Amino acid sequence: MLTVIIDTSAILFGFSNRRDVFEIARMRFGAAALLISRGVLSELSGISLNKGAKGKSARMALEAIKYKKIRVDNIGSNVDAWIHSKALESKHTVVITNDTELYNILRSAGVSCLKLTRQGLLR
């Protein structure tokens, strides 16, 4: 079964641009398991305390994660390290990230990676 790992950067980028990355991933990958780490929840929780637009996007993302029952891995370590190791565990993994540095590292390791565009496309 395909697993789609979604990074904090793509989640925030999506909600900041009125795009639900979870719905976009489900439309693109169907029954694939959508996965985030506890570290992503921690990052979003910290950002959600901000009063500005980024804080609002993080709060909306946290609600979406709860409402849509996104799978959460209980590993709470460094998010990028978790994504890297988890993505290398199986060739049936896709990572959605808007973090260019992480994207390049994963691509060079042979991991399938996509970025979310402002138009709501995965490329």
* Per-residue pLDDT reduced to its tens digit, 83-120: 999 999 999 999 999 999 999 999 999 999 999 999 99
Q: Would you state the structure tokens that stand for residue 22, as one six-digit string? A: 């979870």
Residue 93, classed as helix, strand or coil, is strand
| Average pLDDT for 36-52 | 96
Q: Side chain identity at 16, as an amino acid letter?
A: S
Residue 114, classed as helix, strand or coil, is strand
In CATH, what number does 8-114 get?
3.40.50.1010
CA atoms within 13 Å, Cβ hemisphere of 53: 6
Cα Rg, the chain, nearest whole Å = 13
| pLDDT at site 75 | 83
pLDDT digits (tens, 9 = 90+) for 1-37: 999 999 999 999 999 999 999 999 999 999 999 999 9
